[in-house]
Structure 1
Amino acid sequence: MTHPEPSPTDQQQALQKLGEIRRSIDNLDAAMIHILAERFRHTQQVGVLKAKHDLPASDPGREKLQVERLRNLAHDAELDPEFAEKFLNFIIAEVIHHHHRIAEQRGE
């Protein structure tokens, strides 16, 4: 089954819609970066408190709860929970790395 060739007007409208969607995606990407930056500012504060009070950089119990919570949020938002878990695990690993670095700097 062959599809009729789109008219130049249809193509122009599709390109215009594509541009609108891409601008929305770009705005969302910018918002995510700002939200991640804010999140990492808070986790840096956590790292300083942990280092100051000789607490471990990692908290497996909290991490497990956070993964479960995020998976539920993802499900409710119709986002793949597996993807959400991978994303959060990546963030957690980076936060723990930062916490180790903060502790090492305090120990110098």
Structure 2
Amino acid sequence: MTEQNHALADADSFDPSASSLAGHVDQAVMDELLSIRSSIDNIDATLVYLLAERFKATQKVGVLKATYKLPAGDPGREAAQIARLRRLAEEAHLDPAFAEKFLNFIISEVIRHHEAIAEDHQATIAQA
């Protein structure tokens, strides 16, 4: 089974009603819990797809940076983004420190990808 097919099989076998609480709480409470969790599951799926789209865009940035020998990171842009996301988090009543940690994780992954793209680009040029 390929990695992609394995991931699809895992996603297809997801049981949204799985809970260690089943049989231990009133059914009406369980129904409400499962309803709320269904919304959370939909949001999680949306987050995954949004992150995939974000990384597709940052891959294009990585290719552009590699082509023009620009650095993988851009500290000025990163600082501005962090400040912006902290403000947005505050407006959305989300912990700004959490938003910053989340964005820092994404930024570190993007930089890692940009460095790999630059290495691949340089290797391709060296072979030519």
Identity, % of aligned pairs? 60
Map of 1:87 onto structure 2 = 102
Secondary structure at the aligned position of 2:26 is classed as helix
Query: Distance in 1 between the 2:74 and 2:27 partners?
Result: 53
1:33 pairs with 2:55: no
Unaligned runs of 5+ in 1: 1-9
TM-score normalized with structure 2 length: 0.76
Which of 25, 29, 51 is equivalent to 1:14?
29
Letter in 1 for 2:32: K
Partner Cα separation in structure 2 for residue 19 and residue 54 of structure 1: 51
Cα offset, 1:105, TM superposition: 0.1
Gaps of 5+ in 2: 1-24, 124-128
Q: Which runs of 4+ in 1 moved over 3 A?
A: none
Matched residues in 2 for 1:75 and 1:35: separation? 21
The match for 1:56 is: 71
Q: Give the whole-Å Cα distance in 1 for the aligned partners of 2:94 and 2:26.
A: 30
Q: Name which of 119, 122, 125 aligns with 1:104.
A: 119
Q: For the aligned residues, what is the CA RMSD? A: 0.9
For residues 44 and 66 of structure 1, the distance between their equivalents in structure 2, rounded to whole angstroms, comes to 18
- RCO (CA 8 Å, sep 6+): is it higher in 1 or 2? 1
Distance 2:84 2:28 in 1: 41
In structure 2, distance between residues paired with 1:102 and 1:12: 52
When Rg is computed on C-alpha atoms for both structures, the one with the higher figure is 1
